[in-house]
Amino acid sequence: MKIKMVNNYQEMSNDAADLIEDQLKKKKASILGLATGGTPEGLYEELVRRYHLGRIDFQEVQTFNLDEYIGLPQDHPQSYAFYMWSRFFSQVNIDPARIHLPFSTTAGDAEAATAYDKQLKQAGGIDLQLLGIGENGHIGFNEPSSFLWADTHYAELSRETMEANARFFAWREDVPQQAITMGMAPILQARHIVLMASGKEKAHAVKEMLCSPISPWHPASFLQLHSKVEVVLDAEAAAELPPHVFAYK
């Protein structure tokens, strides 16, 4: 695990963009696992900028997104499908047939979850998985719990997650309570993981991820088991870390 502290959000975004650019230089047909939320907005902007400069080509790339709310149509401005299309997919030369977004209209549709895992397996698994982290230590919508689902599954969102997401909705009652999410198994099977965190609200979750015992109560702590994780933090998100963690390799 490599832990890197940078000065601010822009540097974090640029750093993560460098890692993706390197990945696509090594393998044009890379399979990217993508995340949404406030954290990677700057990264997508930077990737679009580099695409227009001719530095990155997405033509052969395949993508698998981490998660999606249940109950929002894909053209809803707060759906993660809308987020991805408006900020990234429509701005670069990615082939729409190579884009994979988890989606289900009900939380009971086991087939949609199984089909997503199957598509991912058939594609060969993820080369580079991009992650953010929730204030409560969630990864995707793998919420803290006494039990961790390994595969793609439906999740009841925790109170903390709904509170954090409320900033994107006009009314508290509109915040979705359920989601479909990639489980920790395909995430941990990714060959390379890049996790970004910015802001003081993330400092505690970042410390728990790296310094607490591995537990489903801290889903991000499972990343301690992976041999190729790069964590890019701004100074505020790194504020609670003991200095020795920066020596990890």
Q: Which residues bind ligand PGA (CB under 6 A)?
A: 37-39, 132-134
Tell me the closest approach of the beta carbon of residue 194 to ligand PGA, in angstroms.
13
Nearer to ligand PGA, 133 or 184 (CB): 133
Tell me the closest approach of the beta carbon of residue 28 to ligand PGA, in angstroms.
28
Known catalytic residue: 153? Answer: no
Nearer to ligand PGA, 13 or 39 (CB): 39
Residues 140, 109: Cα–Cα separation, whole Å? 19
Tell me the closest approach of the beta carbon of residue 39 to ligand PGA, in angstroms.
3
Nearer to ligand PGA, 62 or 158 (CB): 158
Token pair, residue 5, equals 């502290």
Catalytic residue among 15, 138, 192, 236: 138
Known catalytic residue: 57? Answer: no
Distances (CA, A) of 86 to 72, 91, 109, 128, 218: 16, 8, 27, 22, 31
Cβ contact 123:62 at 8 Å: yes
Known catalytic residue: 138? Answer: yes
Cβ contact 178:192 at 8 Å: no
Catalytic residue among 67, 117, 208, 234: 67
Nearer to ligand PGA, 12 or 133 (CB): 133
Known catalytic residue: 143? Answer: yes
Tell me the closest approach of the beta carbon of residue 129 to ligand PGA, in angstroms.
13
Token pair, residue 26, equals 């090594």
Backbone angles phi, psi at 82, to 5 degrees: -65, -45
Nearer to ligand PGA, 3 or 132 (CB): 132
Task: Indicate the SS3 state at residue 82.
Answer: helix
Catalytic residue among 117, 143, 208, 236: 143
Strands of the 153-156 sheet, one edge to the other: 67-69, 178-181, 153-156
The residue nearest ligand PGA at its CB is 37
Tell me the closest approach of the beta carbon of residue 53 to ligand PGA, in angstroms.
26
Q: Give the position of tokens 């390379």.
A: 192
E strand intervals along the chain: 2-6, 31-34, 62-65, 67-69, 99-100, 128-131, 153-156, 178-181, 193-197, 229-234
Give me the active site residues, please.
67, 136, 138, 143
